[in-house]
Structure 1
Amino acid sequence: MYKNFKIGIRAKIILGYIVIILCLLASVIILNNQITSLQKERNFIIKYDSQVQTLTNRIEKYILDMETSQRGYIITGDSSYLEPYYKAEENWKVDFDQLHQLLENRENQQEKLNAIKVTIEQWISTSGEPTIQFKKENNTEAINEFFKVDVGRKDMETMRNQFDAFRSDENTFTQNKAKQLDQRNSKLTTGLFGILVLVSFISIIIASGISRSIVKTMKEVTQTIKEMAASKGNYRTRIHVKTNDEINDLANATNELLDAFERREWLQANLAEIVTKYQGVSAITKLAETFLAEMAHKTQSTFGAFYVREMHNSDVVFVKKAAFADAGDNVGIEQFKLGQGLIGQCALEKRMFINHDISKEYRVIGTGLGEAPPKSVFIFPIIFEDEVIAVAELATMTSYTVLHQELVKQVIETFGLTVNSILGRMEIVRLLNESRAMTEELQVQSEELQTQSEELQMQTEELTMINEQLEERSKEAETKSQQLEKAKKELEDSAEQLVLHSNYKSQFLANMSHELRTPLNSILILSEMLSENGNNNLTEEEMEFARVIHSSGEDLLALINDILDISKVEAGKIDIIFDEVNMSEMPQQIEQIFAPVAKKKHLELHISKADNVGDIFYTDEKRFQQILKNLLSNALKFTERGYVHVDIKQLDHGQLTTNMQEVSAEWLEIKVSDTGIGIPKDKHQLIFESFQQADGATVRKYGGTGLGLTICKEFAKLLGGWITLQSEEGKGSSFTLTIPSLPNGLNETVIDVAYEEVVATIEVPETIEEVQKQVNESRPVSPQEVEVFQGKNILIVDDDYRNIYALKAALENRGMNILVAKDGLECLEIMEKNNAIDLILMDIMMPNMDGYETMSIIRTKMNLTDLPIIALTAKAMKTDRDKSLEAGASDYISKPLNLDQLVSVLRVWLVSKGS
């Protein structure tokens, strides 16, 4: 630490003066503190003595005032004499407490003060207060008796003596304090003279030491320089200076100059010696061995290896060419690539590496007596024209100095040229040998080429003949191409005709559904009214007939709906709307619908949803629910005993194929399993075809049209998914619906690819109307409905008398007044004459003026915007509903009408109009 801390000559002189000044300053500070302390103690004594004397006198005066007031009151009886008495009685206690606190560090004086207090209180209690009380009571006899003894006089005398003794002790205490101050003052004067002597002595010592160090150092530097001059170029002598000042800097600079001269001489000598050693070497192996030996001796290395750059199969590798101090086994690895290990990194970065932290597992260095691990490793590249052409590695049991590193740097600056020269010379020799060998091979190949030329001449003639044949075939191909183009045109015309026929078929099915729904509407309404037996005039058998008619009508309606759905799918008229679906409510919705059916058939219905299913899923909710309801309806229909299970889960990422992941990251799997009749394996494909079931017995026993599975198969595909089937006859079935979450809609190209990955057999159960038929029961007209419908004027506009009759009977049964119009014109006439109509049931397909035009006139020309108009139509296309609402309908109901649905719609609009 002393060597690092430098003090110059100037600093030493200044430091000496600073020390002297600091000593003087310390003396002044100490003296000032002592004087200040004496002044404080003197002031304390004066203040303390003054306070004690003042408080003592005041207390004594208060007691004397109390005695005087007491005697004046006793003599005169005048109460004004008591005012000084009571005032003094209060004040002497305050001064006594203050005096007692002032003496808190003097217990002896406090005891005396307490004795005075006891005397005072005794006088007050035995003399002062009793005599005053006697006087107030005019007890002259008691007063005379008291003054015969007069104990109060003795107390007052005792008090005065106690105060005199107290003051005497205080005077003695004050005098002792004054004597102590005098003694401290004498000591302070003596100490001041001692400090002055000490400071002077220190100043003399510092001045003498500084001057002696400067003179001694100058003499040492001068003597050393003279010895160096007399040695005639011997740079090993060094100047040794013990001080750390400017003279030391001069000596260090001279020593560094000598060190630089010595290093330069050593470097030049060793560099010349090494270069001389490998001059004239023509082989790279010999050059590497010579280089390693010389560098090891000069850097005190005990281990080494030399690697040269080569090309192996277009890869750059460095191959070992020589080693130093091989202890029996090969020194170093045989070869390495750029960046492989520390040596490979050295070649890659083109810079030297020195590592002093060597692991104990590193290769040991062998000697005749034993082996030991190295302490330092030195790796350096040999560069020529900015390319590493060789790498050398040295190891030592000591450490590589800066001088060793500098020697290596200077040697490899020119050594790269030597290595490249030898490698170039060796490459020339190798190429010369290869050239000789290639010349011999060329002569042999020339003879072979001559033979091949003759063979090619013959092949040319053959190719000419083949070319002529190809030209003839080309003409034939052009003719066939024209024929194919014509066939293609005919196929395109056929495709257009197929599209046109498909549109005709869809329109035909839509019109046919209208024609079927119209009479079916009357059948359903009237049969339902008969089955309710509102007038109680039908027998049980007649009511059963009505229920059979109603059930058959609903079955016919289901068939019409299925046919219509098939036509929509084939015509591409179904709109798929992808939106949010609340999956958290799905199990409860399924259970509410199907639990009564399962309970009725004594089946176990279990619905489970996995934890990994999110609350929100993106698909077409209407088609999705229709598939699920049909699957469950099918399972319940074909299961006589056991259970029906619904398992909802989300597929894990590992279960998704590449194409499925391209479609969506979220896929839902809903499995509907049952213990029903099962499906034979040879029928798995058949049941997905239109109007097909497993066998004739199934149709006879369970009914159904065979369209449901086909519809649901198409719906699943429109949602981007598929349905798979696992079933054995007599062991139940398991249908699995797999669909993706599609927030942005359907990418049909990607979906088709994903769909082709799944070999699916798909089955969908019959429509939900069949389940609702089993759940819903006919109910009588309630009093609440009568109250809502009572006296309401309903206008029925329809050209079919059967519908009019059925609707009129059903609505009049609920207390409504019914008006009838056969077409739109008659409707407008009734509207002009009757403004008390509460609601209109408007058929769409009518002669003269259809429902669309009629509703438009009512809304625009008659300006009846608040009148509820319910559109009734047997057409079930989505465009029919939209067109009805655009024309002015308040709501829309498709035929055949469901009586409960009609009543519910009427209730909503009549209540809304009333409110």
Structure 2
Amino acid sequence: MLNKLKLGIRTKITLGYIVIILCLLASVIILNNQITSIEKERNNIIQHDSKIYMLIDRIEIYILDMESSQRGFIITGDSGYLELYNTAYENWRKDFNELYQLLENKPKQQETLNEIKTTIEHWIATSGEPSIKLKKENNIEALTEFYKVDLGRKDRDTIQDQFESLCSDVVATTKAEIKKLDKRNGLLTLTLLGILVFVSVVAIIVASGISRSIVKTITEVTQTIKEIAASKSNKKGRIDVTSNDEINALANATNELLDTFEKKQFLQSNIAEIVTKYQGISAITKLAETFLSEIAQKTQSSLGAFYIRESIDNNIQFVKKATFADDSDSIGIESFKLGQGVIGQCALEKRVLIYNDIPEDFRLIGTGLGKVPPKSIFIVPIIFENDVIAVIELATMTGYSELQQELVKQVIGTFGLTINSVLGRVEIVRLLNESTTMAEELQVQSEELQMRTEELTMINEQLEERTKEAESKSRELEKAKKELEESAEQLLLNSKYKSEFLANMSHELRTPLNSILILSEMLAENSQNHITEEEVEFAKVIYSSGEDLLGLINEILDLSKVEAGKLDITFGEVNMSEVPVQIEQTFVPVAMKKNLQFHISKAENVMDVFYTDEKRFQQIVKNLLSNAFKFTEQGSVNLNIKQLDLEQLTNNMQDISTDWLEIKVSDTGIGIPKDKHHLIFESFQQADGATVRKYGGTGLGLSICKEFAKLLGGWVSLQSEEGQGSSFTLTIPSLPNGLEEKKCLEPGMYEVAATNDIFDSGEVKEQQLPEIQEVSQREVEVFQGKNILLVDNDDRNIYALKTALEKRRMNIFVAKDGLECLAIMQANHKIDLILMDIMMPNMDGYETMSIIRKQMKLTDLPIIALTAKAMKSDRDKSLEAGASDYISKPFNLDQLVSVLKVWLIAKGSL
């Protein structure tokens, strides 16, 4: 009966499809359940890991908030920072507990989390809370020591490493779970293959019952050809034939025809769409933006830049006019020349370039989720009349297909004409505007020309008058020039007179001062106990006052030398490890006497050897400390020495030296009002500058500090408020290249220079008053019976020196000038040493010493030059004239005795 049943091909095909559909439906249901299960597990893993990473990030943020608010509170003292600290302190534990619960099935990660908790709590206990407590207590010194150690840094690094370890464990766990899902996915794939095999078997069985199933293929091919012929096909699929016969060839040919047709249709439709978009645009920038946007979308580009050719000063450049998918960073360079870079080479060679191997450091493409590197770069020149008129550069994350490349090439084939037309229109509009403007200007100029013609006559008349005035002014300028030259000469002469005046004043002041100091020192000795203790104190006061006067003289001379540019600055090695000891020895007694705290600190990074002028450096520091002690009644004085780090130096400072010192002298004294900060560095100016002042001093100390700091290549700065103390900071560079060549003195020669380290503080001066001692037996043996010739025209000095030296059992001969000195030398050949004044009538000391050395041939006789002038080059002139040594008046008696002892011993050993 079945054999008699007639089923048409359509019926057989229908039955076969029904069987296949049922099999596919069953397989789809099974696969869908499996895929849904796998996706659910994968989503759970993603959500679980996302929550873990979120909690980790939040905990790290809380720790960073605690650290930043802690440092903000310590730096500023603003309690508002503690609110953020306390909030973070309370919240991190909540997130920590939630994260701990999420990792309940992962004991290793929980153990790492516990270690993180321990480290965080250790940081809070040892760094966070203690530092905040110290800041609240305003214990700055403890805070400074605390941050020198910085225990919290190790905890912060440990926390970061532990979080990285935890994240690594989470990633490893996630990968393991994903691997399990991949295995299940593999099983699902095998299942799918099995279902496909099953369906295929069923299809084959069904197909075997269908006669001539190729009728279906023939029908499809026929239908497709009809659709193509009618140009109405929207078919995107392809004919799939498994038989290897003419039907297969027919299907393949039909598929190729469909590919060609779709390609042409794609190109035509997209080209037409792009051309439609930019038609009618007259602005070149708008044209570039529109075209670039459309071409980037059609080619699935992620980045793009559009460059137009421009001629700037006869130099051809391609200037960027538009970008695609730009973000905060600028896409592409602003301009390039022919042959410059790959894009410039593309324009030079007029050919399309495609790069698929992109360097790792190439610009990343930004998306909503992050940034990814491009996979391909497409550079296309736009040509008009055999010249490159523009260049387009595109980048994509996927790569450019041949169809996309063909689309770009066809679009730019006519786009060059459009660009040229727009540029031409722009130029025409510009020229039209210029012509209109020029026409208007010509009209105005023609009207003005008529007016100016009338004005020219008047101007010519005025020019004649001005010519006469110019001649008169020229004569006046010549006269003014001569007057200026005379003024300049007068200024030079005044400067010379000033230097000479200071030298003479130095001599006139030092000469009587020398007698005052020597005689007051001798009275203070009271070797024969012939005066009372009160009179001894009077003598000490006289000595101290003389030292004050000497300090004033030296300060005025120093300031004058600086202004005249004649102060010697000798750069050499300074042992910085000895500076605190020297300062401590000088000022600790002052601090004890005034009941003040005195602290000296030197940073560890300070170099051991620093190159500067040690004398001027010491004088600046001592002057600053002296002022600090003088104006501080209670509290403390601090000296802090540190070396500036490289990042703290400006470019100008680094050009001078890479090693800079910062010496800060701070006190808790009276402070300086801000309106007087600029005054105190001026000569004879002080903060308490009233007629009746509580504090003494000349007001020259800070002025000298400022000038000396300039000579050392640095500066002195001030921070102070009235009633809040003061901080003076000396900043100077290490200048080894400024180190002068050292010159060794002859054996037995000692340089004795005038002491310039005189301070404003009376307490310091009392410490400097020399101890008065009786003449030792050793001195008696050296000096007894020695013949000393004293050459000086000042009776006061003669009396003072003769009295002091005769006490040491020396025989003193006196000459009032150089001529008397030579006469005594001719009559007495047993002179052991000469004390030679320089400025004398009839014959000065220079000429006298020269005659003794050159004419009388007494080269071994010690001659000590004594001068009150103390100006630059005096010492060199004295030594050149024949002096063995040099002492500046007024001199310390012990100093003179020491020099005499050295030279008498040296002479005795010859």
TM-score by length of 2: 0.53
Partner of 1:825: 819
Aligned residue for 1:892?
886
- CA deviations on 1:5-24 (whole Å, 9 max, x unpaired) are xxxxxxxxxxxxxxxxxxxx
Q: Which residue of the partner structure matches residue 638 of structure 1?
A: 631
The residue number in structure 1 matching 2:787 is 793
8 Å contact 2:838–2:844 — kept in the other structure?
yes
- Cα 1:460/1:770, change in 2 over 3 Å: same
Partner residue, 1:495: 488
Q: Quick one: distance in 2 between partners of 1:679 and 1:398?
A: 73
What's the counterpart of residue 593 of structure 2?
600
Partner of 1:868: 862
Kept in 1: contact 2:301–2:394 (CA 8 A): no
Aligned to 1:671: 664
Quote how far apart the aligned CAs of 1:827 are.
2.7
Q: What aligned pairs does 1:389-408 form with structure 2 within 5 A after superposition?
A: none
Asked whether 1:848 is paired with 2:854, we answer no
Percent identity, aligned pairs only, is 61
State how far apart, in whole Å, the 2-side matches of 1:642 and 1:378 are: 73
Q: Distance in 1 between matches of 2:555 and 2:450?
A: 75
Alignment of 1:268-283 (within 5 A): none
* Cα distance in 1 for residues equivalent to 2:365 and 2:535: 108
Match of 1:583 among 576, 593, 611: 576
Matches within 5 A, 1:338-737: 349=346, 350=351, 353=354, 422=414, 455-457=447-449, 460-461=452-453, 464=456, 467-468=459-460, 471=463, 476=469, 479-480=472-473, 482-657=475-650, 659-695=652-688, 701-737=694-730
Give the equivalent residue in structure 1 for 2:897. 903
Shift of 1:806: 1.5
Distance 2:849 2:447 in 1: 95
Q: CA deviation at 1:510?
A: 0.9
- Tell me the SS of whatever aligns to 1:781: coil
CA apart distance, 1:435: 11
In the other structure, the counterpart of 1:780 is 774
Shift of 1:855: 1.7
SS state at 1:584 partner: coil
When residues 583 and 484 of structure 1 are mapped into structure 2, their CA distance, relative to the original with a 3 A threshold, is farther
Amino acid at match of 2:506: S
Pair 470,896 (structure 1): closer, same or farther in 2 beyond 3 Å:
same
State the distance in 1 between where 2:673 and 2:855 align: 64
SS of equivalent to 2:577: helix
2:578 match: secondary structure: helix
Q: CA deviation at 1:900?
A: 1.5
Distance 1:319 1:892, change over 3 A: same
Deviation of the 1:511 alpha carbon? 1.0
Per-residue deviation at 1:721?
A: 3.3
Distance change >3 Å, CA 435–CA 489, structure 1 → 2: closer
Contact 1:311/1:317 (8 A) holds in 2: no
User: After superposition, what is the alpha-carbon deviation per residue over 1:470-517, rounded to whole angstroms, capped at 9, x for unaligned?
Assistant: 735676566446534533432332232122122112212211221222
Q: Retained in 2: the 8 A contact 1:669–1:738?
A: yes
Contact 1:794–1:819 (Cα < 8 Å) also in 2: yes
Unaligned ranges ≥5, structure 1: 1-269, 293-309, 364-375, 747-763
Distance 1:541 1:610 in 2: 48
Task: Report the CA distance shift for 1:741/1:423 in structure 2 as closer, same or farther (over 3 A).
Answer: same
Structure 2: which amino acid aligns with 1:858?
I
2: distance between equivalents of 1:621 and 1:834? 45
Residues of 2 paired with 1:851 and 1:897: CA distance? 18
In structure 1, what is the equivalent of residue 809 of structure 2?
815
Once the two structures are superposed, residues 384-410 of structure 1 have per-residue CA deviations (whole angstroms, 9 ceiling, x without a partner) of: 76969898999999999xxx99xx99x
Provide the C-alpha distance between the structure 2 equivalents of 1:424 and 1:448, rounded to a whole number of angstroms: 36
| Alpha-carbon separation, structure 2, partners of 1:446 and 1:696 | 71
Quote the offset at 1:379 in angstroms.
Answer: 6.5
What is the 5 A alignment of 1:159-174? none
* CA apart distance, 1:320: 6.0
Change (3 A) 1:843 1:315: farther
Counterpart-to-counterpart distance in 2, 1:805 and 1:362: 97
| Distance in 2 of aligned mates of 1:868 and 1:694 | 49
Could you list the runs of 5+ residues in structure 2 that have no partner in the other structure? 1-255, 275-281, 308-319, 325-330, 333-341, 367-374, 740-756
2:713 maps to 1:739: no
**Are 2:836 and 2:866, in contact at CA under 8 Å, matched by a contact in 1?**
yes
Secondary structure class of the residue paired with 2:852: helix
Looking at structure 1, the residues matched to 655 and 893 of structure 2 have their Cα atoms a distance apart, in angstroms, of: 48
Secondary structure at 1:878 match in 2: coil
- For 1:543, give the aligned amino acid: V
Aligned to 1:771: 764
Bigger-Rg structure (1/2):
1
> CA offset at residue 534 of structure 1?
0.8
Stretch moving more, 869-878 or 729-738: 729-738
Q: Is 1:913 the equivalent of 2:907?
A: yes
Deviation of residue 866 (structure 1)?
A: 2.6
How many angstroms does 1:528 deviate by?
0.5
Contact (CA 8 Å) 1:633, 1:765: kept in 2 or not? no
Q: Counterpart amino acid of 1:727?
A: S
1: CA distance, partners of 2:791 / 2:571: 37
1:365-388: CA deviation from partner (whole Å, max 9, x where unpaired): xxxxxxxxxxx9896968976969
CA distance in 1, matches of 2:709, 2:396: 75
Post-superposition shift, 1:671? 2.0
| TM-fit CA distance, 1:845 | 1.8
* Maintained 8 Å contact 2:306/2:391: no
The 1-side partners of 2:479 and 2:489 are apart by 16
Instruction: Give the number of equivalent residue pairs.
Output: 586
How far 1:533 moved relative to its partner? 0.6
- Counterpart amino acid of residue 803 in structure 1: N
What secondary structure does 1:595 align onto? helix
- Return closer, same or farther for 1:884/1:389 CA change in 2, 3 Å cut-off: closer
Find the counterpart in structure 2 of residue 219 from structure 1: none
Q: CA deviation at 1:887?
A: 1.0
**What letter corresponds to residue 884 of structure 1 in structure 2?**
S
Q: Which moved more, 1:571-580 or 1:344-353?
A: 344-353
Q: How large is the Cα RMSD of the aligned pairs?
A: 5.4
In structure 2, do the counterparts of structure 1 residues 463 and 624 end up closer, same or farther at CA, with 3 Å as the change threshold? farther
Deviation at 1:874, TM superposition (A): 1.0
Q: CA deviation at 1:530?
A: 0.9
Give the alignment partner of residue 858 of structure 1, picking from 849, 852, 857: 852
Kindly provide the amino acid, as one letter, of the partner of residue 595 in structure 2.
H
Instruction: Tell me if the contact between 1:692 and 1:707 (Cα under 8 Å) persists in the aligned partners.
Output: yes
Q: Is the 8 A contact 1:319 1:335 kept in 2?
A: no
Q: After alignment, is 822-831 or 868-877 more displaced?
A: 822-831
Give the counterpart letter for 1:820 in structure 2.
V
* 8 Å CA contact 1:672, 1:736 repeated in 2: yes
Residue pair 2:355, 2:378 contacting (<8 A) in 1 also: yes
For 1:794, what is the secondary structure of its paired residue?
A: strand
- Aligned partner of 2:833 in structure 1 is 839
What is the TM-score of this pair, normalised by structure 1? 0.53
How far apart are 1:893 and its partner, in Å?
Answer: 0.6
Letter of the aligned partner of 1:716 in structure 2? A
Q: 1:381·1:388 contact (CA, 8 Å) conserved in 2? A: no
Deviates more, 1:494-503 or 1:817-826: 817-826
